[in-house]
Chains A and B, each alone.
Chain A
Amino acid sequence: MDLQEKIASLLPSATIEQAQYLTISVAKNDLRKAAETLRHQLGFDILWSLTGMDWGTALGVVYHLASSAKPGEIVVLKTQAEDRENPMLHTVCDLWATAELNEREVYAMFGIRFINNPDMRKLLLNENWVGFPLRKDYNADPELNPLNLHSDEVSDLRPKLVEQADGTVKEEWDEIFTNKEYIVNIGPQHPATHGVLHFRVSLDGEAIKKVDPHLGYIHRGIERMCESLTYPQMLHLTDRLDYLSAHMNRHAICMCVENALQLEIPERVKYIRTLMDELTRIASHLLAWSCMCMDMGGLTAFIYGMRDREKILSIFDDTCGGRLITNYNIIGGVMADIKPGFQKQVKEFIPYMRKMLKEHNAIYTGNVIAKNRMTGIGHMSRELSINQVVSGPSGRASGFSSDMRKHRPYGAYDKVKFNEIMRTEGDTFARYSARLEEISASLDIIEQLIDNIPEGQSLVKTKAVIRLPEGEYMEWVEAARGAFGVYICSKGEKTPYRVKFRSTGMPLVAVVDEISRDEKIADLIAIGGSLDYVVPDIDR
């Protein structure tokens, strides 16, 4: 019995159709049953992404699910909350822990509240923000939300909607921290939070009791802006999400649009994109390594890492014309063909980087102090990483295989042999080493591709005005911090109806509370460094 029939027999009231992915639509009241069935009976234990939607008349949510055995095979669940005045849906955060923060985001952006979610504060926006920005009828009048130069008090109360036995819903408030607790604010301006992230940390002596992350200090409203931009214009914003994975992000959105248009991409472009992705990955991991070492007090490592990274930036500079934000991929190919000296530059870089990796390992990885600060600290179990969908090197350090290059091969990844770096310890040291090992894996991939770039065009012509056929599309790449996805809902216009970027960083912040509990406050910095979040990618 194939999956579709199985689901149909288990959920008779659902409508099932085969679009890009198998899509199951359920009514609001059947949501819990459908979610539980998918989670427990069919083993879909990964909630890749949770997207709020405004379909004009009704608000709703789209869930992208997969199982940890096959993270690349995705099933879509959809539901609607008819009411626009006071929309409510049941939470799924007891089934997939990652839903908690995502549902808070949906509340801030669409105003849908989730029954039984323990925390219904707005994520990203201030509590007193007027209106829900991603709704189609949002009033963007600046008078409603003026620029405020006064910091508001941070409230430690959180509301939640609790379902009573008779089916009615009651609002309750509880305290995150009691006023007996000793609370320290870390961020939003703190050199070790890697951007503007705000943690409220409750301490018992030096030990951490609880961490409450506050997000939104760099929420730029990219998803809303995309709705009024044409497809080629949108590309520029993706580079600026997770700027350390600029190439990969843009690769994802180009792929999504190209697949929707059924555009055939030349082999040469695939090779170039893959090479650029891997170079970006190395640059990103080097930066992560440098910053983590610097946060732990090793300034030398920072200087060394940044020095090596500059070599890659020079290569980008020559071929793309940009260093950090390269604006290189465009729909149908790449902006300009590679420079004649590109291959030579890359081939010089590979042995250099291999040599330097040995040195970095000798200098820092083997250092007793560094080892003691990392081994056994900040343990993340495999279950937790799946439940919170921590993908990328951080998840793989806990044994969660989620590499989209393996599970949904794209670009030229089906033509190369490489190992998915897996570890089982799940502590800070494992995450740290996974990154260094991934650098060498990336070097191997580059080595296999660099001499075999096929001849051909570097760009195929597209129509002057690109309109995607009506439908919903989602494509995935493996960015430096995990699986990055782009969801586009099109109504056949030249601008998209709704765009959602699956943040690679939000799960990393969501696990901080659990993995740093009972560790020392100083270890929080090392744990944060090993998770390596980029905040603009979380806040979007």
Chain B
Amino acid sequence: MEVKDITLQGKGTKDIEFKDNEYLEQYLQELRANGVNIFVEKLDMLINWGRGNSVWPLTFATSCCGIEFMSVGAARYDFARFGFEVTRSSPRQADVIVVAGTIVYKMAPVLKRLYDQMADPKYVVAMGSCAISGGPFVKSYHVVNNVCDIIPVDVYVPGCPPRPEALLYGLMQLQRKMKVENFLPDAQKAQKKIRKKLKEVEVKQ
């Protein structure tokens, strides 16, 4: 029996190459080209290296994607290898919240509160098409169509559910982001803006 190879845009799976997303590093090089303060630069690098390698996620999952999130934490994929040592059950001790699963209207305030309870600096990974766009439930009356409406997102990991490799890649992308963070004041400003906007919305309600 023949097993057909799946083709995407005229290419077989074997011809599609994985391209690493290195824009952050390139951006950094560009910034550094003009010279930086050696002392502060080294100190920042050290701090961010430490932070970037001990990111503890919150034990948070609402549905199917949560099971894949668990798989990534278990023996075969084991994200502890990359510095996501343990998941924490309390938002006070967590650095990153992986929104694994559908967020519905009734859950939205709870997610917001969890995020507010986390200590700064904090990060958000939206895992799965549900968190990104509502996924298969986009037309439902009770599903939030983008977690970005509730909390600001740093990394999106598409898939339904994303494969564990994809989540690992997404989490490592977050680490890269963290490592260059002090060079990206724009990004920080943007985040602050979003948070402020959300606050305003809340006050109105």
Nearest A residue (CB) for B91: A189
A307, B109: Cβ atoms under 8 Å? Answer: no
- On whether A147 and B136 interact (CB within 8 A), knowing A221-B143, A536-B63, the answer reads no
A148, B205: Cβ atoms under 8 Å? Answer: yes
A225 to B141, CA, bound (A): 9
A221 to B105, CA, bound (A): 11
Q: Does A61 contact B (CB under 8 A)?
A: no
A57 to B62, CA, bound (A): 37
Nearest B residue (CB) for A314: B76
Nearest B residue (CB) for A536: B63
A528 to B113, CA, bound (A): 25
Within 8 A of B (CB), among A484-515: none
- On whether A218 and B62 interact (CB within 8 A), knowing A189-B110, A340-B1, the answer reads yes
A302, B143: Cβ atoms under 8 Å? Answer: no
Q: Which one, A148, A216, A240, A340, contacts B108 given CB within 8 A?
A: A148
Q: Which one, A148, A225, A303, contacts B105 given CB within 8 A?
A: A148
A224, B102: Cβ atoms under 8 Å? Answer: no
Q: Which one, A150, A237, A313, contacts B109 given CB within 8 A?
A: A150
B61, A195: Cβ atoms under 8 Å? Answer: yes
Nearest A residue (CB) for B73: A306
Q: Does A133 contact B (CB under 8 A)?
A: yes
A404 to B196, CA, bound (A): 55
Q: Does A126 contact B (CB under 8 A)?
A: yes
Nearest A residue (CB) for B59: A191
Q: Does A70 contact B (CB under 8 A)?
A: no
Residues of A within 8 A of B160 (CB): 325
- On whether A324 and B67 interact (CB within 8 A), knowing A224-B141, A240-B136, the answer reads yes
Q: Does B60 contact A (CB under 8 A)?
A: yes
Least Cβ distance of A369 to chain B in Å? 21
Within 8 A of A (CB), among B96-114: 101-102, 104-110, 112-114
A216, B110: Cβ atoms under 8 Å? Answer: no
Q: Does A212 contact B (CB under 8 A)?
A: no
Residues of B within 8 A of A200 (CB): none
B74, A303: Cβ atoms under 8 Å? Answer: yes
Nearest B residue (CB) for A337: B1
A536, B64: Cβ atoms under 8 Å? Answer: yes
A149, B107: Cβ atoms under 8 Å? Answer: no
Residues of A within 8 A of B198 (CB): 149
Residues of A within 8 A of B139 (CB): 225, 228
Provide the A373-387 mask, 1 if CB < 8 A to any CB of B, else 0: 000000000000000
Least Cβ distance of B106 to chain A in Å? 5
Least Cβ distance of B115 to chain A in Å? 10
Nearest A residue (CB) for B86: A299
A220 to B143, CA, bound (A): 6
Within 8 A of B (CB), among A233-283: 236-237, 240, 243-244
A243, B64: Cβ atoms under 8 Å? Answer: yes
Nearest B residue (CB) for A339: B3
Within 8 A of A (CB), among B107-130: 107-110, 112-114
A191, B107: Cβ atoms under 8 Å? Answer: no
Q: Which one, A191, A307, A337, contacts B74 given CB within 8 A?
A: A307
Residues of A within 8 A of B45 (CB): none
**Among A140, A151, A189, A323: residue with most chain B CB under 10 A:** A189
A221, B74: Cβ atoms under 8 Å? Answer: no
A217 to B89, CA, bound (A): 18
Provide the B163-205 mask, 1 if CB < 8 A to any CB of A, else 0: 1000000000000000000000000000000000010011001
B109, A191: Cβ atoms under 8 Å? Answer: no
Q: Which one, B64, B76, B161, B201, contacts A149 given CB within 8 A?
A: B201
- On whether A150 and B202 interact (CB within 8 A), knowing A218-B63, A225-B140, A306-B75, the answer reads yes
A147 to B110, CA, bound (A): 12
Q: Does A125 contact B (CB under 8 A)?
A: yes
Contact-size category for B? 35 or more
A95 to B57, CA, bound (A): 47
Q: Does A188 contact B (CB under 8 A)?
A: yes
Residues of B within 8 A of A244 (CB): 67
B107, A145: Cβ atoms under 8 Å? Answer: no
A310, B143: Cβ atoms under 8 Å? Answer: no
Q: Does B68 contact A (CB under 8 A)?
A: yes
Residues of A within 8 A of B59 (CB): 191
A176 to B49, CA, bound (A): 52
Residues of A within 8 A of B108 (CB): 147-149
Residues of B within 8 A of A219 (CB): 104, 106, 142
Q: Does A196 contact B (CB under 8 A)?
A: yes
B63, A243: Cβ atoms under 8 Å? Answer: yes
Residues of B within 8 A of A148 (CB): 105, 108-109, 205
Q: Does B150 contact A (CB under 8 A)?
A: yes
- On whether A243 and B106 interact (CB within 8 A), knowing A147-B149, A221-B140, A228-B139, the answer reads no
Q: Which one, B61, B62, B63, B141, contacts A140 given CB within 8 A?
A: B141
Residues of A within 8 A of B75 (CB): 303-304, 306-307, 310
Q: Does A93 contact B (CB under 8 A)?
A: no
Provide the B14-57 mask, 1 if CB < 8 A to any CB of A, else 0: 00000000000000000000000000000000000000000000
Q: Does B70 contact A (CB under 8 A)?
A: yes
Q: Does B153 contact A (CB under 8 A)?
A: no
A287 to B68, CA, bound (A): 12
A287 to B64, CA, bound (A): 13
B67, A240: Cβ atoms under 8 Å? Answer: no
A217, B113: Cβ atoms under 8 Å? Answer: no
Least Cβ distance of B162 to chain A in Å? 10
Residues of A within 8 A of B105 (CB): 126, 145, 147-148
A224, B140: Cβ atoms under 8 Å? Answer: yes
A125, B106: Cβ atoms under 8 Å? Answer: yes
- On whether A220 and B74 interact (CB within 8 A), knowing A339-B3, A536-B64, the answer reads no
A152 to B113, CA, bound (A): 12
A151 to B71, CA, bound (A): 31
Nearest B residue (CB) for A192: B89
- On whether A218 and B202 interact (CB within 8 A), knowing A148-B109, A310-B71, A337-B1, the answer reads no
24 A–B contacts from the bound complex (CB under 8 Å):
A133-B141, A145-B105, A147-B144, A189-B110, A191-B59, A195-B61, A195-B63, A217-B107, A218-B102, A219-B106, A221-B143, A224-B140, A228-B139, A240-B64, A310-B75, A313-B71, A323-B68, A324-B71, A325-B161, A336-B3, A337-B1, A339-B3, A340-B1, A536-B64
B-to-A contact residues, CB < 8 Å: 1, 3, 59-64, 66-68, 70-71, 74-76, 87, 89, 101-102, 104-110, 112-114, 136-137, 139-144, 149-150, 160-161, 163, 198, 201-202, 205
Top 9 closest pairs, chain A to chain B, by CB: A306-B74, A221-B140, A243-B64, A307-B75, A151-B109, A191-B59, A536-B63, A221-B142, A217-B107
Given A191-B89, A220-B102: 6 more A-B contacts, CB < 8 Å: A125-B142, A188-B107, A219-B142, A220-B137, A240-B136, A310-B74
